Amino acid sequence: MIHPKTLRLATPLALAILALGTPITPIHTASAATTTLQDTKATHVAVNKDDEPLRCGDQDIYYAITTLNQGTVLVAEGTSALYTKVRYPNTLGAFVPANEAQAIGSGDRIRLTAESRLRAASNLRGLEGSWSPVFQSPLPVNTELPVLSIERDEDGNVTAYKVRPPVHPTTGAHPIAYIRTDALRPATQAEIAALGNIKPAETKPEQTEEPQSEPEATEAPISNELLEDTKLPEPVETKPEPKPQPVTQPVTQPVTQPEPKPAVIQNNTPRTVDNAGSISTSSLEQLESAFASARAMPRAELDEALSELRAEYQRAIDDAGDDEGLVKSLSQRLAWIDLRIETRDARRAIDNALAQADEQTQALRAKIDQWESSRAYTLVGTINASSVYTGDPLPLLFRVSAPDPITGIERTVGYVAPTDAADPRRFLGKLVGIVGPAVRDDQLGRSVVRASRIVDLSNQ
């Protein structure tokens, strides 16, 4: 587990950009961006991979608006070798601060009281982390917009409206977002036809004369229907394919200190924090990806993953420091995890009251107790793959489970980290004895053993 004090510092420039709660000037201005991202004729494209971030700017350091799955159809308006500019799907919604608008009618629409370029909605930080505009030119005062949802503070006061971004009523420009060019392919005719015929969001700017009908669209192949009909994934329904086991690699250097220190397990992409405790965008996105994957797991796998997820979210909250907005967002996830843990523990309590260990389980438990009491092994149990600690993005660890002495139900008793001397993958599903230094992880409530030797006990 990566202790906060052992984490590498990100570069000052990247951390300045990643201060998501503070409006900043993007690295690319509208004029500078055209030197690398060239405008093109509007074209239908489709996403060719799952969990691809749709960002508010044309660099990886810009915050993610959402993640898109394979087959999602977009309209591209410009491209470069790295990023493609696409029309912002208005099913996502964009933010308007409450001090720039007023609700009208029953509250399902708002009227702008100040010019606004609308803010691309951050999927991690809400209004506080949403600073990037979706238009180059602001929408005029008195423009009316349909409301998708209302943001409120802890006291119930309205802080912002999430609205459906329209086609600009004066310039005809579409709201924009960005996605990596290598994550796109040309859309098929069947995919384009499946979008349907839905009209775009309407705007009602201030009018001093009799309203005139909008001019006919000049881009015959492209319909504004895409703004309404973009199919976006629901995290609960997404069931990601199992990830292949990573290539064998050493996880950490051998411990040279005579006394054990807090476990330091190297990760493919370690979490980065600055001196004030702010966490990088990529680390937050990786944590959210692990959370979404866990929610789609079968109950048995989710039960085992909950404690691991809780440990990582608690670590992220500790790293967030004084960033109240980030702590609030992470705490909401933590509350969901705690509720599931409470349900899991209640269910297990019932199982404990009803279950009776059979003779085979009692015999196995007796053998484990005998091996552990002899101190020949640091940990004894069956090695299983972890659903959370897969090596990408979190560290590579394997669960060690053993039957509960009362119920006979398998429980996680510790974790083992691979080393050059011993690879746990050779013993998946087998009863083993593990030798090596152990370090207690307080967040997990379990010990992590760096294996120097693993012995197969399944035939003993």
372 pLDDT band, cuts 50/70/90, is low
Residues 172 and 277 in one domain: no
Q: Domain of 436? A: 359-456
SS3 4: helix
Task: Clarify whether residues 377 and 348 are in a common domain.
Answer: no
45 close to 73: Cβ distance less than 8 angstroms: yes
Q: Residue 414's domain is classified under what CATH number? A: 2.40.50
Helical axes 324-354 vs 299-320, angle rounded to 10°: 150
Q: How would DSSP label each residue in 373-385?
A: HTTS-SEEEEEEE
Which positions ≥6 away from 286 have C-beta within 8 Å? Answer: 269, 393, 394
Cα–Cα distances in angstroms (integers) from residue 12 to residues 63, 129, 322, 325, 413, in the given order = 17, 19, 19, 21, 41
Pair (342, 389) in one structural domain? no
Kindly state the average pLDDT of the residues 382-401: 90
Same domain, 40 and 188: yes
pLDDT for the residue numbered 383: 94
Are residues 36 and 115 located together in one domain of the fold?
yes
Assigned domain for 161 exists: yes
Tell me if 178 sits within 8 A of 58, measured CB to CB.
yes
User: How much is the average pLDDT of 196-203?
Assistant: 44
Contact 175, 90 (CB under 8 A): yes
Residue with tokens 């459906």: 164
Cα 345 from Cα 78, distance rounded (Å): 52
Cα(first)–Cα(last) distance of the chain, in Å? 33
The CA distance from 410 to 74, in Å, is: 47
CA distance 164 to 149: 10
More confident residue, 326 or 220: 326
pLDDT, tens digit (0-9, with 9 covering 90-100), for 144-177: 999 999 988 888 899 999 999 999 999 999 999 9
Q: Are 47 and 62 in contact (CB under 8 A)?
A: no
Say yes or no: 153 and 51 in one domain: yes
- Sort residue 156 into left (φ over 0), alpha (ψ -120 to 50) or beta: left
Tell me how far apart the alpha carbons of residues 405 and 449 are, in angstroms, rounded to a whole number.
Answer: 22
Q: Is residue 243 part of a domain?
A: no
Would 368 be classed as within a structural domain?
yes
The alpha carbon of 363 is separated from its chain's Cα centroid by a whole number of angstroms, namely 44
Domain end, chosen from 194, 210, 238, is at 194
Number of domains in the chain: 3
Nearest Cα residue to 334 out of 314, 318, 315, 320: 314
Q: For residues 374 and 203, give the distance between their C-alpha atoms in angstroms, rounded to a whole number.
A: 77
**Do residues 366 and 333 share a domain?**
no
Task: Report if residue 215 sits inside a domain.
Answer: no
pLDDT in tens, 45-70: 999 999 899 999 888 878 889 999 99
In a domain, residue 254? The reply is no
Residues 320, 385 share a domain:
no
Helix (H) or strand (E) holding 79: strand 73-79
8 Å CB contact between 213 and 240: no
Calpha distance 120→130 (Å, rounded): 6
Q: Are 251 and 418 in contact (CB under 8 A)?
A: yes
pLDDT tens digits for range 306-356 = 888 888 888 888 888 888 888 888 888 899 999 999 988 888 888 777 665
In this structure, is residue 145 part of a structural domain?
yes
Q: Are 427 and 368 in a shared domain?
A: yes
- Which of 216-225, 291-300, 380-389 shows the lowest mean pLDDT across its residues? 216-225
Which of 354, 383, 415 corresponds to the end of one domain?
Answer: 354
Identify any residues that bridge with 75 across adjacent strands, giving them in sequence order: 44
Per-residue model confidence (pLDDT) at position 294: 82
End position of a domain, from candidates 354, 372, 401: 354
Query: CA-CA distance, 313 to 291, in Å (whole number)?
Result: 9
**Alpha carbon distance 366, 338 (integer Å):** 33
232 pLDDT band, cuts 50/70/90, is: very low
The verdict on residue 218 lying in a domain is no
Claim to verify: residue 66 and residue 96 sit in the same structural domain: yes
Q: How do residues 28-47 score in pLDDT, each as one tens digit?
A: 443 344 446 788 888 999 99
User: In the prediction, which pLDDT does 357 show?
Assistant: 52
Residue 428 has pLDDT above 60, yes or no: yes
**Token pair belonging to 254:** 């051998």
pLDDT in tens, 252-293: 454 444 554 444 444 444 444 444 455 667 678 888 888 888
- pLDDT of 126 reads 80
Q: Are residues 315 and 349 in the same domain?
A: yes
Q: Which of 225 and 350 is assigned the larger pLDDT?
A: 350
- pLDDT for 12 beyond 50: no
Is residue 21 domain-resident? no
SS3 at position 336? helix
Same-domain check for residues 149 and 190: yes
Task: Quote the pLDDT of residue 405.
Answer: 72
Place of tokens 């980290």: 417
Residue 262: per-residue pLDDT: 44
Quote the crossing angle between the two packed helices 299-320 and 281-295, to the nearest 10°: 160
